[in-house]
Structure 1
Amino acid sequence: MKSILLKRYKLRLFAVIKSFRKPLPWIAIYSLLFAEVAGQVPKACDYEISGIIFDLTSKQPLPFAAVQIKGTNIGTVADEAGTFSIKDLCENEFDLIFSHVGFKKLTHHHDPHHALSKVFLAPENLTLESVIVEGEVVVGDLHSNTVEELSGREFEKNQSESLGDLAANISGVSVLKTGQNIAKPIIHGLHSNRVLIINGGVRHEFQNWGTEHAPEIDPSLAENISVIKGAATVRFGPDALGGVLLINPPKMEIASPLHGEIGLIGKSNGRAGEGSFKLQKGYRKLAFLASGSLTKQGDLKAPDYALTNTGKSEKSIALGTKFHGSHFDMTAFYSRFDQELGILRGSVTGNLNDLATAIGASIPENTADFSYDINNPRQTVTHDLFKLTGELHKENQSFLIQYGFQINQRREFDVRRGTNNQLPAIDLELFTHSLEAEWNHPAWNDWQGSIGIQTVYQDNNNLPGTNTIPFIPNYNNSRLGIYFIESKVFNENTIEWGVRYDYQTFSIRGRAANNDLFTNDLTYQNFSATIGLKKEIKDGHVIRTNLGSAWRPPNVSEIYSFGRHQSAFEYGLWRYEINEANDVTAGRVLTEEDREIPSEVGIKWVSSYEINQQKWQADLTGYVNFIQNYLYTKPAGITQNIRGAFPFFIYDQTNALLAGIDFSSSFQHHEKFTSSFKASLLWAKDVGNDENFVGLPPINLGYLLNYSPQNFGIFLNNHIDLDLSYTFEQFQVPRVIGVDEILAAKENDISLFENNDEVFDFLPPPGGYFLMDISWSFKVKNIPGLGGSIQIHNLLNQSYRNYTDRLRYFADDVGRNLILSVKYQF
């Protein structure tokens, strides 16, 4: 057939050339010729597509689901293991429709560059949508990483919480708080600059150096979150000594009908109201996404008293579009998060005697009646993110390039005198440009992997008008990183390795306490590497082990922080000195010659054993993390000035060893009963000084029992959860020196630290506590798409304080909270 066509078109070609009497470019002629010939030749119908269909809630295979190619009668039905295959297809790009009784129908545009590996169909009662996983789930490009995900019904149930509180539902993750509204995740005892947050593929850049700074991300607009527990520096860059938190937004699907959801939430504690929406539409080549949310909350309440000035106001919006070509995809995304948070008024005192009374008081100072007003101390933050991504697909390889631009604006207001009370004490603006490129190359001798380059440029400035010495100086930050990651599969095992080099510079401009100008240029560079193994022992049993190095240059705040920062004073390593009597003095600005500050360098080994059976899933993870030159804050005393009396903290550096165990499991006792258990244990030590650190997460145990009756009156697909947790009293604690003891020593001119400079805390750790939550989620009969839930957090109205909360010195955590939510999907 081809030879006959080729002969016919060659004769036609010679006739055309003769008529023009001018020779045409032979390359162009043959290109046109063969293009036309190829168009006439019938396509080979040998394309095959296959995959596995799962229940999004249980993660178990979904048998006998229907699969159909849209617009045709071609299709199949999955077998009892959820596996399907369609062979002898003439086209390799089409729309697939997945359906099953009791589950949401899913339309997915498939192309040959994204292998269809797993399909997750959502039950009708779930507000989350069905999703497609294209290719094997490899987070961070490493199969040997220990990764846990919060998705499905558990993610949906806690989606209105802050990002830090939401992530704490994952085993091995806890939460660091400053009061009731400011929360950030702790992974294996590490937080802030040692935990990277990747938001929709972009490294989230914000003022991440303070316990008072929560990530400005609205989890209500996300699809799910994942936690990488290894030292994932090779793929994501410096700072990931603890791990990586991945925020995954909803996927924009090509060729999908207009759909979306509207949600309303009311909370009794804080008398809060929240509203959100999401809209999505996909065409043949284009897809669009729009979502937003609004939150208003008043003063929260502990079991026995109000928590004055703990209101919050939040607004967020996200817009996205995707273009899909035969070999090229382009995505544009924009989001904005606007937040105002009140900080407990009782954390600010006027003099030393008031401070002594306030710390450990049964009721915080300045407690007042409920109000929606947000007064000082407070903070306002806005975060804008723009992302543009292009991905080129070729046979057995792909190339990705991504540009990100972020603006983070932070203003912190303290309780001040006169007209200064209206001015921010800290007013920072951070601009971040990032550009990265990655080549997923074809297999080389059975090795598959990627080569990438990443660049970041930051400009951080104090805006004028605060009438204060800047807490941190202005600076510019530049970083360049190059990495290689390779993996090879043999038998049932996968071995992999990765290496990375980073070069980073800081250009710093600031003012000392006497207003003198100081400048400095700092340079840091280092290699990081990882090696790992994934081994499948038998069906459903997997071992993952990974050994990785990571590093982190000191943050500008750890070097230069100076003065009051919301509820405390802090001094960086170059902003204080210690005299012979071990008293701290803050005045002049030090340099490298006075005190060297090397980079943190960590070695982390993580191993996990996973079991995935039809009715039982379990994961046991152990880890050891040694960090050289570990930077941390520790209490150093109390101080007083015209803005009040406060505890103050200083930065120090030592060698740290952290080790622990995470365990999680779930078991289906009956078709209507399922239970799950999780536990986390962390042990940490300052091995340089043989001391304990302040603020380590204590041992935590959690148990959840789920009862899922099918119908209950007018309610369908019911789920009733009883969630129990117990947090132990922290036993790894330093000595205690109370404020009363410090004041008495000052009055009698006694130095408490001259002969003993061991780390201390102002209060002993709070006692262990038991919490009980209960929830009921449902779908309304005869109203498709309408569902809701009723939850009660802290059902027993337990009074407790969390050891990882900086404001535990002043108040209890929140009491009982009734949460009502309604969602309508269309």
Structure 2
Amino acid sequence: MISRIPKTLIFAALLLTHISTFSQEKKDCATDCSCIISGVIMDASTHEPVPYATVQIKNSEKGVLTDEAGKFLFNKLCEKEFDIFISHLGYKSVIHHHDIYHPDLVVKLAPSDVILESIVIEGSSIETGLESMTESKISGKDLESMQNESLGDVLSNITGVSTLKTGQNVVKPMIHGLHGSRVLIINNGVRHEGQGWGQEHAPEIDAAMADNIALVKGAASVKYGPDAMGGVIIINPPKMELSTGHLHGAAGITTATNGRSINTDLLLQQGYKNFAWMGQVAGLYQGDLSAPDHILTNTGARELSYMFGSRYHHKKLDLTILYSHVEQTLGILRGSVVGNLNDLDIALKAKEPFFTESFSYDINNPRQEVSHDLVRLKGHYNFKDHQLNFQYGFQANTRQEFDVRRGSNNERPAIDLELFTHTFDLDWQHAQISGWNGTVGTQWLYQDNNNIPGTNTIPFVPNYNNNRFGIYIIESKALGSLDFELGLRYDYQSSSIRGRDTENDIYKQDLNYQSITGLVGVNAQLGKNTSFRSNFGTAWRPPNIAELYSYGKHEFTIDFGLWRHSTDEFGTPISSTDVLDQNQKPVDNELGFKWVNTFNHTTKEQSLEVTAHFNYLKGYIYSKPAGIAATVRGPFPFYIYDQTDAVFFGLDASYIYRHSTIWESQIKGSYLHARDVNNDDFFIGIPPNRISYELSHSKSLLGLDEFSAAFETSYTFEQFNSPRVITVAEINDAQLNGENLFQQDRSNFDFLPAPSGYLLMNLKLQGIVNQFVFGVEFKNILNYSYRDYTNRLRYFADETGFNMLISARYKF
């Protein structure tokens, strides 16, 4: 295994040497004044070209006007980098520092009478750089209107994205039915690493700190490595622009009636000729949330986030350093913990959770306290026709989970973990070779995860160290209206495990994993307004630490990993006193084969996008109910991990029709089907189908620069493709009568049937005066009682009821 790595490194070194040699043959354009800058100017609201815009190179007499297609060109330039000033009557001007090493500019000018800001995009607007990938983005006014929402809730506005929840505070994004270790998050340019194995663990990321969020629906393992099986979420911080001169930024506040919360944020930025900086802070203070008919006791939340960054630019070198911190205290519904089997049966049938009390800001047990720190150093160096990019990231993640326990143990965390992660990325964007453009890169990751002593419990997961190395190459070539992409990657990971078994004896295991992944894609421009993207990619991931070794109580369930449970002679899953291994119970890598096809048609009056996706997962690892376990803390549903082959396929569609300059309609819908192909069975927790309609209106009104209103109604269908139901009462009766419910039928089951479908209505109003933005939003207007199938606490409580949010924001 190890002997294969040097060969790969030698191949990469030879390829880089060849590319470097090829590039050195190119002439320096500055020596003969042959440098060129070109681009296109577009309206940020309509995406139509802006003709006759003025484009000037500052501190010079050079300037041009865009043509009717919004395009401009500077040639015969003797410098390699400039400050460019773009302006047009009726639009907000923008200054941008640009050099010839970046591709053509795409400038989106914001009309003067809207709150949007003009922006500049250097080269492709696709975050991954993979033109065949299907990508959606949330930014600007849309993102600002969701400052108080979690990352998962923000992304759920995109078709094909749903959420896996544990109550109302713990929200994980799902892409085409996959979540956790199958959805990779790139936060501030760094692969986000926390205790993501837990279904009850939300990403430690504050969406309020993001400038924009991109979501990639394809299998992007070739570029990002393991885990990108369902897709990739890319969270970008505010860009540190040079040459802005004055101090600028934004400040905002949002209050909500449900939870009586307050959310604030502040952003400061400033750019000089060769240096720029930014600072950002946000906070949330929230009390108990409410369902339509009762309080959801112990669902308060506290959150504090801050980030600082600086940028230095000098000729061919550009360096940025960034530090961010997120800390959260999240309450878990008190009624999810009960005392005995009879109480559990009653709780699952009750309309109101146990232990429901009056509103409070207190956060008691069960609760989570988590923090995440990130330090990132990133830079690139420009050669004549190619670029070297490098990045180092360090992350420190701590997690404490407090359970309802007896005596002094109630003050001790039941789970106390710290995870340190180092990453280093190096890639080379080579010069064009026979029409091919591409990147050769390598990535390294090292992790050290430890349980902190003092919990008075057997660790739920063991200590471990991961060491991972990957190398990849991605190439693209344009042939007329077609762009072809090819990619190949090799990864190797070694893991060292150290834990304690049920007798508190130490066990140790060393594990090794490797895989090769690839992609092939095409982006076809079928006409002026129509495009088609098709991408087929393979992906992989090794089983995570919880899937193999989890043991014991975690939040409101008991979990047993693949190597911590076995089956008795009657087919009943039982916990194993011994820790199994690969020889006793083989567990394979999870392999994914995902094909995504997207058709897009956009005109001034309408936009249509349809995405069809198919994902075959070989060795799919999932958690399923296996019965009820009695513990000193009461009875809890217990779950085991299993492995099978699965198929996920579906359709995402959105249609926008612009009735006029002030009225717009949008229809969105998602369909998803998932199945265990080995056992011809359904899985628990697959998102049900959903459709929504929004009617929006925007114009100047009553002295406001802009007034907008949007009414949305959505319907979430019942999940009919769900497993059979075995209630707690049936399991209890079977145990009392000596019956085995699983001997003849080992198919998946759930403790309750999937909840009924539900209709929700929301209304959003917003007004803009100069640099002030005021908003009022009404959620669940009808105060409808419902339960969400992908909320793991649907067994105990309804979702939140009516909520009114009032927000104000000032940009300066």
Coarse TM-score class (shorter-chain normalised): over 0.9
**Residue 824 of structure 1 aligns with which residue?**
810
Q: 1:51 aligns with which of 26, 39, 49?
A: 39
Q: What are the superposed Cα offsets for residues 367-404 of structure 1, whole Å, 9 maximum, x if unpaired?
A: 00000000000001000000001200112210011100
* Structure 1: distance between partners of 2:116 and 2:210: 10
Equivalent runs, 1:162-177 vs 2, <5 Å: 162-177=150-165
* Structure 1: distance between partners of 2:150 and 2:115: 19
Displacement after TM superposition at 1:45 (Å)? 5.2
* Structure 1: distance between partners of 2:72 and 2:558: 62
- Confirm whether residue 699 of structure 1 aligns to residue 699 of structure 2: no
Q: 1:274 aligns with which of 253, 263, 273?
A: 263
Displacement after TM superposition at 1:665 (Å)? 2.1
Change over 3 Å in CA distance of 1:122–1:365 after alignment to 2: farther
Q: How many residues align?
A: 784
Counterpart amino acid of residue 283 in structure 2 = L
RMSD between aligned residues:
1.8
Equivalent runs, 1:29-48 vs 2, <5 Å: 46-48=34-36
Contact 2:309/2:323 (8 A) holds in 1? yes
Q: What are the superposed Cα offsets for residues 31-82 of structure 1, whole Å, 9 maximum, x if unpaired?
A: xxxxxxxxxx997555443322223344333444433333445434434443
Q: 1:416 aligns with which of 357, 380, 405?
A: 405
- Confirm whether residue 797 of structure 1 aligns to residue 788 of structure 2: no
Contact 1:128/1:223 (8 A) holds in 2? no
Change over 3 Å in CA distance of 1:412–1:123 after alignment to 2: farther
Counterpart amino acid of residue 727 in structure 1 = T
* Structure 2: distance between partners of 1:600 and 1:671: 49
* Structure 1: distance between partners of 2:108 and 2:318: 23
- Confirm whether residue 734 of structure 1 aligns to residue 723 of structure 2: yes
**Residue 430 of structure 2 aligns with which residue?**
441
* Structure 2: distance between partners of 1:43 and 1:760: 72
Q: 1:189 aligns with which of 166, 169, 177?
A: 177
Displacement after TM superposition at 1:584 (Å)? 2.3
Segments of 5+ residues of structure 1 without an aligned counterpart are: 1-40
Equivalent runs, 1:478-627 vs 2, <5 Å: 478-586=467-575, 587-627=577-617
- Confirm whether residue 810 of structure 1 aligns to residue 796 of structure 2: yes
* Structure 2: distance between partners of 1:815 and 1:81: 49
Counterpart amino acid of residue 595 in structure 1 = K
State the identity as a percent: 48
Q: Which moved more, 1:719-728 or 1:418-427?
A: 719-728
- Confirm whether residue 157 of structure 1 aligns to residue 157 of structure 2: no
Displacement after TM superposition at 1:128 (Å)? 5.5
Contact 2:30/2:80 (8 A) holds in 1? no
* Structure 2: distance between partners of 1:562 and 1:680: 36
Displacement after TM superposition at 1:151 (Å)? 2.1
* Structure 2: distance between partners of 1:463 and 1:795: 46
- Confirm whether residue 725 of structure 1 aligns to residue 714 of structure 2: yes
**Residue 645 of structure 2 aligns with which residue?**
655
Q: Which moved more, 1:352-361 or 1:126-135?
A: 126-135
* Structure 2: distance between partners of 1:567 and 1:130: 48
**Residue 663 of structure 2 aligns with which residue?**
673
**Residue 344 of structure 2 aligns with which residue?**
355
* Structure 2: distance between partners of 1:651 and 1:505: 22
Q: Which moved more, 1:403-412 or 1:253-262?
A: 253-262
* Structure 2: distance between partners of 1:229 and 1:605: 10
Q: What are the superposed Cα offsets for residues 80-116 of structure 1, whole Å, 9 maximum, x if unpaired?
A: 4433334554444221222345543321111111234
Counterpart amino acid of residue 628 in structure 1 = K
* Structure 2: distance between partners of 1:629 and 1:588: 24
Structure 2 counterpart SS, 1:421: helix
* Structure 2: distance between partners of 1:47 and 1:322: 25
* Structure 1: distance between partners of 2:113 and 2:508: 59
Change over 3 Å in CA distance of 1:103–1:567 after alignment to 2: farther
- Confirm whether residue 636 of structure 1 aligns to residue 626 of structure 2: yes
**Residue 15 of structure 2 aligns with which residue?**
none
Displacement after TM superposition at 1:138 (Å)? 3.5
* Structure 1: distance between partners of 2:784 and 2:89: 43
Displacement after TM superposition at 1:122 (Å)? 3.4
Contact 2:36/2:100 (8 A) holds in 1? no
Q: 2:218 aligns with which of 225, 230, 235?
A: 230
* Structure 2: distance between partners of 1:729 and 1:393: 54
* Structure 2: distance between partners of 1:825 and 1:291: 14
Counterpart amino acid of residue 491 in structure 2 = D
**Residue 339 of structure 1 aligns with which residue?**
328
Q: What are the superposed Cα offsets for residues 243-287 of structure 1, whole Å, 9 maximum, x if unpaired?
A: 111111111101113111111111111000011000111111001
* Structure 2: distance between partners of 1:299 and 1:101: 50
Equivalent runs, 1:114-133 vs 2, <5 Å: 114-124=102-112, 129-133=117-121
* Structure 1: distance between partners of 2:126 and 2:809: 32
Equivalent runs, 1:395-406 vs 2, <5 Å: 395-406=384-395
* Structure 2: distance between partners of 1:45 and 1:503: 47
Counterpart amino acid of residue 802 in structure 1 = D
- Confirm whether residue 310 of structure 1 aligns to residue 295 of structure 2: no
Q: 1:137 aligns with which of 125, 130, 135?
A: 125
**Residue 3 of structure 2 aligns with which residue?**
none
Structure 1 counterpart SS, 2:152: helix
Displacement after TM superposition at 1:190 (Å)? 0.5
* Structure 1: distance between partners of 2:765 and 2:736: 58
Change over 3 Å in CA distance of 1:296–1:128 after alignment to 2: farther
Contact 1:127/1:823 (8 A) holds in 2? no
Q: 1:787 aligns with which of 763, 769, 773?
A: 773
Change over 3 Å in CA distance of 1:128–1:459 after alignment to 2: farther
Change over 3 Å in CA distance of 1:615–1:488 after alignment to 2: same
Counterpart amino acid of residue 233 in structure 2 = L
Structure 1 counterpart SS, 2:128: helix
Displacement after TM superposition at 1:593 (Å)? 2.2
* Structure 1: distance between partners of 2:667 and 2:233: 22
* Structure 1: distance between partners of 2:483 and 2:725: 50
**Residue 457 of structure 2 aligns with which residue?**
468
* Structure 2: distance between partners of 1:461 and 1:213: 17
- Confirm whether residue 645 of structure 1 aligns to residue 632 of structure 2: no
Change over 3 Å in CA distance of 1:389–1:730 after alignment to 2: same
Equivalent runs, 1:102-113 vs 2, <5 Å: 102-113=90-101
Counterpart amino acid of residue 703 in structure 1 = Y
* Structure 2: distance between partners of 1:138 and 1:808: 37
* Structure 2: distance between partners of 1:536 and 1:60: 17
Structure showing greater Rg: 1
**Residue 702 of structure 2 aligns with which residue?**
713
Counterpart amino acid of residue 608 in structure 1 = T
- Confirm whether residue 244 of structure 1 aligns to residue 226 of structure 2: no
Contact 1:330/1:391 (8 A) holds in 2? yes
Q: Which moved more, 1:142-151 or 1:467-476?
A: 142-151
Structure 1 counterpart SS, 2:793: helix
* Structure 1: distance between partners of 2:285 and 2:81: 46
Segments of 5+ residues of structure 2 without an aligned counterpart are: 1-28
Q: 1:83 aligns with which of 59, 65, 71?
A: 71
Counterpart amino acid of residue 807 in structure 1 = L
Change over 3 Å in CA distance of 1:125–1:503 after alignment to 2: farther
Counterpart amino acid of residue 589 in structure 1 = V
Change over 3 Å in CA distance of 1:588–1:326 after alignment to 2: same
Change over 3 Å in CA distance of 1:622–1:156 after alignment to 2: same
Contact 2:35/2:100 (8 A) holds in 1? no
Contact 2:30/2:77 (8 A) holds in 1? no
